[in-house]
């Protein structure tokens, strides 16, 4: 079965550079979530989209932005990167009308290292 696809899997950037992460949800899923997981930390919710519109916003820095495109894939753009942005970034998807209990399907994550 198709899963959530994230790219790239690994990314190394310098401070103050820009990075873009991509997420391709499970086909027919209408909701996409982005989470940030720092070393030894719990996943922190950043932002979600439903039917290509921003749905909920968590602890996403102003330097970050995200959008969901017409094909439902999503991109997380991170600018002016800081050392503290080094983390594993997860994308998850769900089908809202059947997700009345909050189950998400996660991708394998994109590991960002900022030097």
Partner 1 sequence: NSVTQMEGPVTLSEEAFLTINCTYTATGYPSLFWYVQYPGEGLQLLLKATKADDKGSNKGFEATYRKETTSFHLEKGSVQVSDSAVYFCALSDPPIGGSYIPTFGRGTSLIVHP
Binding site for partner 1 (CB under 8 A): 4, 31, 33, 40-43, 45, 48, 50, 55-56, 58, 90, 92, 94, 96, 99-109
Which residue's CB is nearer to partner 1, number 55 or number 86? Answer: 55
Which residue's CB is nearer to partner 1, number 51 or number 82? Answer: 51
Q: How near is the Cβ of 108 to partner 1 at its closest, in Å? A: 5
Q: How near is the Cβ of 87 to partner 1 at its closest, in Å? A: 14
Dist. CA 21–CA 110, nearest whole Å: 7
Sheet of strand 74-78: strand arrangement: 5-7, 19-24, 74-78, 64-68
Q: How near is the Cβ of 39 to partner 1 at its closest, in Å? A: 11
Q: How near is the Cβ of 83 to partner 1 at its closest, in Å? A: 21
Distances (CA, A) of 68 to 42, 46, 83, 114: 24, 14, 26, 25
Which residue's CB is nearer to partner 1, number 7 or number 55? Answer: 55
Dist. CA 28–CA 72, nearest whole Å: 9
Dist. CA 6–CA 9, nearest whole Å: 7
Strand 110-114 with 10-13, pairing: parallel
């Amino acid at each position: 079965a198709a899963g959530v696809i994230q790219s790239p899997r690994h990314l190394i950037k310098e401070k103050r550079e820009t990075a873009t992460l991509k997420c391709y949800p499970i086909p027919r899923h209408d909701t996409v979530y982005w989470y940030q997981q720092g070393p030894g930390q719990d996943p922190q919710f950043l932002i979600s989209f439903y039917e290509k519109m921003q749905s909920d916003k968590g602890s996403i820095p102003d330097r970050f932005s995200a959008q969901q495109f017409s094909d439902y894939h999503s991109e997380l753009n991170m600018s002016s990167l800081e050392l503290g942005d080094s983390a594993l970034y997860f994308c998850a998807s769900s089908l809202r009308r059947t997700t009345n209990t909050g189950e998400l399907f996660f991708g394998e994550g994109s590991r960002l290292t900022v030097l």
